[in-house]
């Protein structure tokens, strides 16, 4: 097979003009760093259209693979996620059950999860903690690992914007795609949507550092908002 045929066989072009690459050829920090410019918001990692069984598989994997903390806070936490307690969180209708969250520290990148519901897996990260291709590799490796564990696609998005993937990973189908800034703008225009571009420009001109306390506050504030489920079929690409 010719070189150009091999290249074409490793790509899929979507209706909005996005070429999804197979294998590991998308990890270019200069291409990806715009995604992690500090703008006062978190970045979310999702696996959509999930079930309790998917969560159970994921939790078993996380417990075996990562050093983690599960609890109300650092002083009252364990090093394993209790799936039985997570199910109690989902079933609690009184609002009186204490909330336990997950914290994973990946070499300085803090990943949080609050177990909002069984139908969607979500993690939060602080974009300012990604400063180079090394951290980009760490996050994409994490996305690959959870995609493999659940056998479903994982995506990274702006905060609370699951419909617009900025990074897409599907281990089962060999897909790994990082949107460039120009691709994001083109998709936004073609789909007729606004993806927070002007707020990104403003944040770049007037950067505001985010403290760990502010990060925790934003995460809990987001947790108090009505939670929105987004099916993968609703994604713009």
**Domain boundaries along the sequence of the chain:** 19-225
DSSP collapsed to 3 states, 124-137? EECHHHCCCHHHHH
* Range of weakest confidence among 131-135, 136-140, 170-174, 195-199: 195-199
Averaged pLDDT for residues 46-59? 98
Among residues 98, 89, 156, the alpha carbon closest in space to that of 122 is found at 156
pLDDT for the residue numbered 227: 75
The band of 111, judged by pLDDT with boundaries at 50, 70 and 90, is very high
The band of 221, judged by pLDDT with boundaries at 50, 70 and 90, is low
Residue 2 has pLDDT above 50, yes or no: no
Residue 1 has pLDDT above 50, yes or no: no
Number of residues written out for the chain? 237
How do residues 116-145 score in pLDDT, each as one tens digit?
999 999 999 999 999 999 999 999 999 999
How do residues 13-41 score in pLDDT, each as one tens digit?
555 555 655 555 579 999 999 999 988 89
According to DSSP, the residues that pair with 185 across neighbouring strands are none
pLDDT for the residue numbered 95: 86
pLDDT for the residue numbered 192: 82
């Amino acid at each position: 097979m010719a070189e150009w045929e091999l290249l074409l066989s490793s790509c899929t072009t979507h209706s909005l003009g996005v070429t999804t690459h197979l294998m590991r050829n998308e990890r270019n920090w200069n291409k990806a760093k715009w995604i992690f410019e500090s703008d006062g918001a978190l970045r979310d990692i999702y696996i959509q259209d999930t079930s309790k069984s998917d969560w159970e598989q994921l939790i078993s994997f996380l417990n075996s693979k990562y050093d983690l903390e599960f609890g109300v806070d650092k002083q009252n936490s364990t090093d394993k996620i209790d799936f039985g307690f997570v199910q109690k969180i989902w079933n609690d209708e009184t609002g009186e059950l204490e909330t336990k969250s997950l914290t994973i520290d990946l070499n300085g990148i803090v990943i949080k999860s609050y177990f909002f519901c069984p139908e969607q897996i979500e993690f939060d990260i602080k974009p300012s903690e990604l400063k180079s291709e090394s951290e980009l590799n760490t996050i994409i490796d994490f996305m690959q690992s959870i995609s493999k564990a659940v056998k479903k696609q994982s995506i990274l998005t702006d905060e609370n914007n699951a419909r617009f993937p900025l990074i897409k990973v599907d281990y089962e189908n060999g897909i790994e795609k990082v949107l460039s800034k120009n691709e994001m703008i083109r998709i936004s225009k073609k789909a007729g949507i606004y993806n927070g571009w002007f707020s990104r420009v403003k944040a770049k001109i007037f950067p505001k550092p985010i403290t760990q306390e502010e990060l925790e506050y934003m995460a809990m504030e987001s947790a108090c908002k009505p939670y929105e489920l987004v099916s993968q079929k609703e994604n713009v690409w």
